Amino acid sequence: MKVICDQAALSDALGIVVGVVARRTPTPVLTCVRLTASNGQLAMSATDTEASLRHVMDQVEVEKDGDLLIPAAKLLQVIRACDAPTVTLNAKGHHLQIKAKGSQFKLNGYDPAESPEIPEFNTDAIDCKIDGFTLSSLISRSLFAAADEHSRYAINGVLFDRDEKKLRMVATDGRRLAVAAGDCSGGTGEKQCIVPSKALGLVRQLVRSADSNVSIAIDDNHVTFHVDEASGPSTLTSTLVEGKFPPFEDVIPKDQDKRCTIDREVLRTAIGRAALLTSEESRSVRMRFETDSKRLTLTSHVPEMGEAVIELPLADWEGDDLEINFNPNLLGDALKVIDTEQVLLEFKSSNKPGVLRTGRDFTYVLVPLNL
């Protein structure tokens, strides 16, 4: 195998592929990336047995077809260290020679026959299609709320809930719930599955442009994302999370009688300021909504540090006065991932969950802290 590659493109591609290789494993080939040069393209593939990724690069000049299995992390380090526009990869036996202007490396590899088989994308199994902008937005507005506790396996991922032409992605960690919705095409009927957080993080990296096309195929045990990008196609296959996702519709309050619309960036900035006077032991900001003065006051207090008082005008507060405490980090997380100018806040009482909405495409439910 001999291939001349664009250094920056190769570095970017390897940076994504390395994300799927196993971190700790007694099986060396699971720490490797398989390089396959053929048909004027360079394909890179890797797997940790739970997820597998295949990315094809077009910005290459193939002088000789072939393939090789090479340690992924070390290869990435070497390519990033090559300060040259192009890099030449030359495989001889189970060794890879890497040449760039002023540099030359030789890495020991493995027989590519030892690498686990990575399935091809089955175009007949496509469940739905979605554009890159919409999918990236759905992932950004849901993944942050997923649990990372191994003891709560069924919520260590994001629920895919497709109903005809609408795809909802839902995540929760028990303290909050995020529901993001977007349009898709090609789907019929209803389908649900739980996608691992790691897989969605990789998909977000694969979607480089807003106008990329993503095809999603789901079977009983796996989900596959096929991303068509100008730089080359990628296919990610992952096992699904086992278990039953909580009935999230029941968690979204239906009886809120206090609400207001507020500028998202103004609220995000105010919460950030109030959070400065919190601590690990007291991660709480009190929000007081006043009817007569049409004012929102945010306060925080740490005895050994001091206190903060932030005041904001409210244009359209509906309902009685309300005091409610929230973790500022959890509320701020939601305000960071949405891009609308205004957000709707809804409440029932100080001990009931609050709701943040942006129209019908995003709902965020947050459990309050004790007053």
For 145-161, write each residue's pLDDT tens digit. 998 866 566 788 999 99
Alpha carbon distance 338, 265 (integer Å):
10
Alpha carbon distance 346, 103 (integer Å):
61
| Pick from 167, 173, 165: nearest CA to 137 | 167
The region of weakest confidence among 12-21, 122-131, 215-224 is 122-131
| Helical ranges in the chain per DSSP H | 7-17, 72-81, 132-140, 197-206, 264-275, 328-337
Alpha carbon distance 59, 67 (integer Å):
17
Rounded to 5°, the CA angle 240-216-150 comes to 20
Q: What is the DSSP letter of 59?
A: S
Under 8 Å between Cβ of 258 and 347: yes
Q: What is the mean pLDDT of residues 49-66?
A: 93
Token look-up 């390519």 returns 79
The region of weakest confidence among 120-134, 310-324, 335-349 is 120-134
Under 8 Å between Cβ of 196 and 139: no
Please enumerate in sequence order all residues whose Cβ is within 8 A of that of 170, keeping only pairs 6 or more positions apart, or say none: 142, 158, 159, 161, 177, 178, 179, 180, 245, 248
pTM for the model stands at: 0.91
Under 8 Å between Cβ of 46 and 33: yes
How does DSSP assign 294-330, residue by residue? TEEEEEEEETTTEEEEEEEE-SS-BSS-EEEEE-HHH
Give per-residue pLDDT as tens, 355-367: 999 989 999 999 9
Q: What is the DSSP letter of 210?
A: T
Domains of the chain: 2-114 (3.10.150.10), 123-249 (3.10.150.10), 252-366 (3.10.150.10)
- What is the reported pLDDT for 292? 93
